[in-house]
Amino acid sequence: MESFRAIGERLKAYRHQLNMTADEVAEAIGVSRALLHRYESGNIVKLETLEKFARVYGMSPSTLLGLGTEYLTDGFRFFERVANLEEQADRVSVVFGPLIYVLSSPGYDRSLGRSLHDPQDIDPLSPAEGKRLLQVLERRKAIFRFRQPSMVNIVPLGSIERYLANGLAVTADKPYSERAELRREAAREIGHMAEMIAHPPLHVQIGLTPRPLPTAGYQIIHAKGRRYLVNSPFRIGQPTNLRYGVGTITEDPEALEKHDHLTSTLWESALKGSEAVHELERLIRRYAD
């Protein structure tokens, strides 16, 4: 059983994710605001009280105890939860493509901000939703730059090719001039990735895998002696999806072991160093207008 302090931190994190005030939660579970604060600070929580928390937060008591899998059906809450874990991270492995936001260039923010409101998107974000998402992402990038956790990022070459061909486009039937600009933006971003591989920060390693991913991508976060496996169906760009799917966060040892093995397998066969840089340069030339 983990420490009560960790349980308290989790109670507080979930309250923040739901944008609930301390007074609202205290009233919902029938305790004083002061007692709620003590629970969130690590005081012992009775099982019956924990069950009330679970009902209010829409999850199982075992999840609040850190014994189960967290299931998140809202993309905003999912990314906010991941940001909370990354605030404590000292090591991260990411298998995802075509790129991850925390390693993107400053210019990527402008491209992404535009794509979030693409009228061709089946379910575009509102201006308020787009602003909220960018704030969460910017927080994650700031956390990464401040903490500088060691990172292994494995990127599928297939996803890079699709990105270079279309940029952050929801559909491929855009006017030529618009498609050309999207492709130029993508080429600049992949060029930025090539530069990071050629001159890597001390804490970042990037490999390019020619293998198609057997999953939608995943992340393993090491934080304060604990490990979390994060699986996400949510995407930003190409097209954006923050509403449909079930994101999971688990500490299950078997799931972590299998994903560790998969990560090692992909890393062993990945292109690295100058070989990876040359492949990215070849792809950029291939898709150049």
CATH classification of the domain holding 45: 1.10.260.40
Q: Are residues 55 and 93 in the same domain?
A: no
Q: CB burial class (10 A; 0-12, 13-18, 19+) of residue 233?
A: middle
Q: Are residues 64 and 75 in the same domain?
A: no
Q: 213: which 2 tokens?
A: 């991913």
The tens digit of pLDDT for each residue in 34-72 reads: 999 999 998 888 888 999 998 998 888 877 887 778 888
Cα–Cα distance for residue pair 217/266, rounded to 1 Å: 12
Q: In the sheet that 89-95 helps form, which strands lie side by side, from edge to edge? A: 70-72, 247-250, 226-231, 218-223, 89-95, 150-156, 204-209
- List all residues 6 or more positions away from 28 whose beta carbon is below 8 Å from its beta carbon: 52, 56
Q: Are residues 55 and 128 in the same domain?
A: no
Cα–Cα distance for residue pair 206/197, rounded to 1 Å: 6
Q: 3-class DSSP state for residue 43?
A: coil
Predicted confidence band at 172 (pLDDT cuts at 50, 70, 90)?
low
Mean pLDDT of the chain: 88
The answer to whether 220 touches 229, Cβ cutoff 8 Å, is: yes
Q: Are residues 136 and 233 in the same domain?
A: yes
The answer to whether 65 touches 7, Cβ cutoff 8 Å, is: yes
Q: How far is CA 203 from CA 44, 143, 151, 180, 227, in A?
A: 38, 14, 6, 34, 18
Looking at residues 245-258, what average pLDDT do you find?
Answer: 90
pTM value? 0.80
Q: 3-class DSSP state for residue 76?
A: helix
| Structural domain boundaries enclosing 144 | 71-286
- List all residues 6 or more positions away from 59 whose beta carbon is below 8 Å from its beta carbon: 14, 70, 71
Q: Using CA atoms of 195, 200, 201, 202 in order, give the dihedral in degrees to the nearest 10.
A: 180
- End residue of a domain, out of 45, 68, 91: 68
Q: Are residues 58 and 143 in the same domain?
A: no
Domains held by the chain: number: 2
Per-residue model confidence (pLDDT) at position 44: 87
pLDDT score of 1 more than 50: no
- End residue of a domain, out of 51, 68, 85: 68
Q: Are residues 240 and 97 in the same domain?
A: yes
Q: Are strands 150-156 and 226-231 parallel, antiparallel or unpaired?
A: unpaired
Cα–Cα distance for residue pair 161/198, rounded to 1 Å: 19
The tens digit of pLDDT for each residue in 203-229 reads: 999 999 998 876 778 999 999 888 999
pLDDT score of 103 more than 60: yes
